[in-house]
Amino acid sequence: MRLRASQWFALSVVLLVLVGVGGTVASVLSLQRLSDARVQLTEHLSPAAITAGYLRAAMVDQETGLRGFALTDDEALLEPYESGREETARALDELARLAALDDVEGTRDDVRAVRDAVREWQAGYAEPAVERIRREPGSGAEIVRSGAGRARFDAFRLRLTEFTEHIMDSRAQAQERLDRNADIVQFWVVGTGIVVLLTVAAVALVLRGSLVRPLQRLARDVREVAGGDFAHEVSGSGAREVVALGTDVDAMRVRILAELDALRDAEADLRRSNAELEQFAYVASHDLQEPLRKVASFCQLLQQRYGGQLDERADQYIGFAVDGARRMQDLINDLLAFSRVGRLEQPHTDVDCNVLVERVRSDLARVIEESGATLEVGPLPTVRGDASLLRLVFQNLCANAIKFRAEAPPAVSISAERDGDFWRFRVADNGIGIDPEYEERIFVLFQRLHARSEYEGTGIGLAMCRKIVEYHGGRMWLDVDATGPGRGSTFYFTLPASEESR
């Protein structure tokens, strides 16, 4: 059974926590035992052994001072005896305090035995001997020769030796515990670190096998599909989420493939329909030319031959017929030009827009001169496209700027700036302007914002400009922020840069 990524993560975390907690608890317990052994060794047993040495030295000082006093009756020689008694008392008190702190079995009994032996020697031999020597000067030599205090002093030495041996045994055991717990702490610290590292490595391997590698394979499959190979099957492995993700992505691939097939069929139908419509428009427009020419010709003949011979209303009717035929011919010609955009495809070449605009200036020289228009052209780039079609874009925009002029002489500004792999062109004028609410309507075929009596035209120019720009892979729009009634019009369009300038 496959586990979820969250379950793998939870198992990894639980494992790491268990290892960490186990190692921490064991290390803390070992450290506690290590601390107890250290305290017992350094603060109880070692001071007890040292104090036992002080006690032995103090008793030897007492015995030596007493012997000197006994042999010479010199009170000054009792000074080591008196100082030894004080040191002995302090040493016994310290041993009693350390024995009360230590929990080693028998320590208190040993201290009591040593204390009893010291009191036995002092009370049973030393103090009576000092009193007798002071009462009976010269009796000290007899007391020393009698050996009355030797047995008691030997008993003290025996008890102190037993106590010292007991302390040394306890010290050895404490040292052993100290070393053992130090080894345990070291083992757990090192062992826990190794186990954590191994656990992390194992978790990393598990996660790599259940998440990282499956995600990499899934990403590779997705890139294959994204690259256009929609027939490449996508499947997930490892954790359940990755498997489910692979299944979902493959389902999406299958759906995209089905929709792509449907889209291709629809696109093929659309292309066929567009081709048929374009052919129909071309044929219909072409077939309309001849009868329109005949109507226009005969209407003009009527106007020339019978103009002024009929009544005023007849002359007006003939004028309407001639004007309608001429406008119909203009519409058909513009419609033919619009239908040819993209259909009669010419190889795209590098087009110098500076040269292109100069040709447009030459084409519009008459209207420019009559209107007093000025055409300001900044440095223009070289683009990739069909020169004849791009010429129509600049010509239509400049002609519109002159046609829809205000009271001031027309002024047209053309500039361009780089925008990634495209050049963004700006064509601005000081004409009557366009209401921003018509920003999309002006690009619709045959849409006019003014009556024909005000401005001539068929309403195809801007629609053709946008179609030409989009045919070249760019886009065209009206700058509503810089356009409005009385403010002139500003158009933008983009064209792909030439290969050399990319």
pLDDT digits (tens, 9 = 90+) for 408-460: 889 999 999 998 889 999 999 988 888 777 778 877 765 555 555 555 656 67
pLDDT of the residue at 394? 92
Residue 211 DSSP symbol: I
pTM confidence score: 0.42
Domain parsing of the chain, residue ranges: 5-206, 346-496
Q: How many helices (H) and strands (E) does the chain have?
A: 14, 7
Is 102 buried (19+), middle (13-18) or exposed (0-12) by CB count in 10 A? buried
pLDDT of the residue at 201? 78
Q: Specify whether the CB–CB gap between 256 and 249 falls below 8 A.
A: no
Segment 237-276, tens digit of pLDDT: 776 677 777 788 778 878 887 887 888 788 787 677 666 6
Residue 352 DSSP symbol: E
Q: Show the beta-strand stretches assigned E in 77-202.
A: none
pLDDT of the residue at 32? 77
Q: What are phi and psi of 45, to 5 degrees?
A: -70, -45
Count CB-CB contacts under 10 A for residue 131.
10
Rg (CA), the chain: 59
Calpha distance 497→15 (Å, rounded) = 60
Tell how far CA 370 is from the center of its chain: 65
Residue 480 DSSP symbol: G
pLDDT of the residue at 416? 93
Q: Specify whether the CB–CB gap between 95 and 59 falls below 8 A.
A: no
pLDDT of the residue at 237? 77
Calpha distance 178→30 (Å, rounded) = 10
What architecture is domain 346-496? 2-Layer Sandwich (3.30)
Regions of the chain with pLDDT less than 50: none
Q: Specify whether the CB–CB gap between 334 and 463 falls below 8 A.
A: no
